[in-house]
């Protein structure tokens, strides 16, 4: 096995005195010296098992020619976007190469998340997802966005703040409306209602017998029949009487033989349709 070293300490502990040491004469022993004629130290770059050779960088320093999607002077970290599992030293049994993140084709940036790796076995946390996507792998839409299939970009829900129960829509972009509201985006009142607000829509107050259709869905204004008037289309115009739903004009014209232009319905007034065969 190879070890990392920055300094070498050579300890010379025994002289060859050719037997003179038995005389214990220090003057004789001082005439002997150590001598080193050749010293060879083998070494290689420390590449953590992720390179087979070293090359010179721009500064002339030897650095590892990294493999296995690693980088750094000593191949001590994973390349960008290769963080799906933690960096580890390579060995003869396992290369332990760095693996690319899975970002569903919607990001080229990721970081390693140990908690995610422990939970799922995939530690690549994607960053800056495109197409309004979100999630560890850019696999879902951001909040308040939707899409029909995984191949499509996510689109904004655009649910009405006033008419929707939630700003989140379904996968087809449909919003959940309040009781009196309708429309795919919950942005208009149901028939017979008007004035969309945070409380929903209000019921039209128009008199049905005097009104043509429903009230205006924005203002609630009633559209009166020809002979009807009033904010709620609730009374006959001057010269008419007897407001009825079956009457297309709302009220009937007075018939006072030219003696009066004003009339009211008599208590016993009734309408009879006479059908003749001749």
Cβ atoms 158, 148 nearer than 8 A: no
Q: Which domains does the chain have, with CATH numbers?
A: 204-268 (2.170.300.10)
Q: Where are the strands (E) in 3-47, listed by range?
A: none
Q: How many CA atoms lie within 13 A of 147 on its CB side?
A: 16
pLDDT, greater one: 250 or 21: 250
Q: Tell me what the mean pLDDT of segment 95-103 comes to.
A: 95
Nearest CA among 220, 240, 216 for reference residue 228: 240
* pLDDT for the residue 176: 96
> pLDDT for 168-208, tens place per residue?
999 999 999 999 999 999 999 999 999 999 999 999 999 99
Structure tokens, 265: 């319905």
3 pLDDT above the threshold of 70: no
Q: What is the pTM of this model?
A: 0.65
pLDDT confidence band for 225 (50 / 70 / 90): very high
Question: 74-93, pLDDT tens digit by residue?
Answer: 999 999 999 999 999 998 88
Q: Where are the beta strands (DSSP E) in the chain?
A: 54-56, 62-64, 70-71, 77-78, 110-112, 124-126, 133-134, 140-141, 145-146, 155-156, 181-182, 188-189, 193-197, 200-203, 228-229, 235-236, 240-241, 252-253
Q: What is the mean pLDDT of the chain?
A: 89
Task: Note the helical H segments in the chain.
Answer: 26-29, 114-120
Tens digits of per-residue pLDDT, 250-277?
999 988 877 777 888 777 677 666 777 7
């Amino acid at each position: 096995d190879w070890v990392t070293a920055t300094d070498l300490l050579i300890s010379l502990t025994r002289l060859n005195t050719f037997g003179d040491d038995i005389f214990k004469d220090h003057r004789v022993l001082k005439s002997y010296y150590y001598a080193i004629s050749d010293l060879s130290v083998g070494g290689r770059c420390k590449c953590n098992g992720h390179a087979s050779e070293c090359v010179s960088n721009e500064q002339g320093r030897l650095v590892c020619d990294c493999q296995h999607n690693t980088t750094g002077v000593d191949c001590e970290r994973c390349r960008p976007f290769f963080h799906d599992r933690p960096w580890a030293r390579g060995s003869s049994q396992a290369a332990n190469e760095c693996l690319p993140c899975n970002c569903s084709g919607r990001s080229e940036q990721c970081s390693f998340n140990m908690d995610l790796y422990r939970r799922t076995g995939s530690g690549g946390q994607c960053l800056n997802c495109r197409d309004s996507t979100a999630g560890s792998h850019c696999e879902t839409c951001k909040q308040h966005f939707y899409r029909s299939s995984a191949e499509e970009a996510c689109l904004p829900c655009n649910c009405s703040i006033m008419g929707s129960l939630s700003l989140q829509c379904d996968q087809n972009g449909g919003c959940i409306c309040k009781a009196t509201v309708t429309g795919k985006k919950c942005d208009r009142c149901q028939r017979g209602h008007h004035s969309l607000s945070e409380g929903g829509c209000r019921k039209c107050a128009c008199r049905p017998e005097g009104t043509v259709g429903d009230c205006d869905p924005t203002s609630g204004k009633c559209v009166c029949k020809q002979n009807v008037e009033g904010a709620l289309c609730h009374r006959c115009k001057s010269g008419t009487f007897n407001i009825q739903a079956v009457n297309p004009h709302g009220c009937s014209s007075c018939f006072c033989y030219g003696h009066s232009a004003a009339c009211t319905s008599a208590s016993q007034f009734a309408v009879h349709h006479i059908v003749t065969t001749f």
